[in-house]
Structure 1
Amino acid sequence: MSRLRIVPPADDAALRDWRHVHNTVIPTHALSLDDARERAARHRLEVAHLDGALVGCSTVRPPVDGTATVIARVLAPYRGRGHGTELYARGLERARQLGAETVETVVLASNEDGLRFALRNGFVETERYLLPGDTIPWIDLRLA
């Protein structure tokens, strides 16, 4: 049985993989490689591969005032196989290790799979909003 290999991006090639998943799942907020490098300096990023194929990525924003943000992204062909659950569990564990008392996530409203995943995993919607220039709302959710 194949196992998901999840590691922090250690170089630009791995950051490109993280960025590819991010930009595919969140096409309205495409990031450059420099953006990904900046995020890697502030957040805990991971990239997931299965038998050499890029599957997904995650972001853990360290706690601010006790609240961390955990985001798991999985490319559409790999959804429904437990990869998001594994990425999310690792992110949740990391957030708690960093001292999070509360965990939030954010989902682009057009990502129906991601929203269903968050709701199934105990998150409740707290806010919907548009960023300047966006046409698709973002949804903030908090782990109940």
Structure 2
Amino acid sequence: MRCRACSRSESGRSSANWSTGLPPQSDSRRGVIRIALRKTMTVEIQQVSEVTEEIVAAFARLVPQLSRSAAPVTVETLRNVVGCPANTLFVARLDGRVVGTLTLVVFPILTGVRAWIEDVVVDAEARGQQAGAALTRAAMDRAAELGARTVDLTSRASREEANRLYRRLGFEERDSNLLRYTPSIRV
């Protein structure tokens, strides 16, 4: 069993055609889909393949909305995420502005290729515009394209709207314990 995520082209990304449940508009750029919404707003889902000043600024704005304890996002951090062959970093744009992000991690284990969705955040001002749904659908489609048997995610119980969205998209609660170990930083 070979993980297709580890067999990417030299560019580090393969082209994708995401089904989002809404009619897409074609775009000649790879890894982009546009979804027309009410009031002429357009959601565009894009795979990040290059860390630009715009991307750094967007993540500096978005990550604090996801986690108050997260370290500030740096160019190096973003390059590490984008450069890891197991990761696909998506951004959502509304009328060209980055308003959300999602990281898909796909990895092979003995029982098959698995996927995790991590670090999903949509700017508070853009919520309710389908950016979260479009990001999640793009990640689900990409995971399937890479041969993942399952896609998992975690979401705090307090994120009621996000949890409703995930259930609407087909995610089910698992009878499992989520355990975390935080290694001590030793000097």
Q: TM-score, normalised by structure 2?
A: 0.60
**Cα displacement (A) at 1:79:** 1.7
Letter aligned with residue 124 of structure 2: A
Instruction: Find the aligned partners of 2:60 and 2:103 in 1 and give their Cα distance.
Output: 11
3-state DSSP of counterpart to 2:177: strand
Q: Measure how far apart 1:19 and its partner are.
A: 5.1
The residue aligned with 2:51 is 11
Structure 1 pair 31/64, CA: closer, same or farther in 2 (3 Å)? farther
Aligned AA (2:139): G
Q: Which residue of 1 aligns with 2:168?
A: 120
Aligned residues: 133
For residue 70 of structure 1, report the CA deviation from its aligned partner: 2.4
1:50 corresponds to which residue? 94
Q: State the SS of the aligned residue for 1:113.
A: helix
> Retained in 2: the 8 A contact 1:18–1:46?
no
Corresponding letter in the other structure for 1:35: T
Aligned partner of 1:75 in structure 2 is: 123
In the TM superposition, residue 35 of structure 1 has moved relative to its aligned partner by: 1.9
Partner-residue secondary structure (3-state), 1:56: strand
- Answer with 1 or 2: which has the greater Rg: 2
Aligned residues of 1:25 and 1:75 also touching (Cα < 8 A): no
TM-score (norm 1): 0.74
Cα displacement (A) at 1:76: 1.9
Paired position in structure 1 for 2:67: 26
Higher strand share: 1
Q: What's the % identity of the aligned pairs? A: 25
Residues 76 and 132 from structure 1, CA distance in 2 versus in 1: closer, same or farther, beyond 3 angstroms?
Answer: same
Q: Which residue of 2 aligns with 1:38?
A: 80
In the TM superposition, residue 52 of structure 1 has moved relative to its aligned partner by: 3.0
Q: Distance in 2 between the 1:46 and 1:63 partners?
A: 17
Over aligned residue pairs, what C-alpha RMSD do you find? 2.5
Shift of 1:96: 0.8
Q: For residue 6 of structure 1, what is the amino acid of its counterpart?
A: I
Runs of 4+ in 1 over 6 A off after TM superposition: none
CA contact (8 A) 1:58 1:87 kept: yes
Q: How big is each residue's C-alpha offset from its partner over 1:29-53, in whole Å with a ceiling of 9 and x where there is no partner?
A: 3453222221111211021111233
Unaligned residue ranges in structure 1 (runs of 5+):
134-144
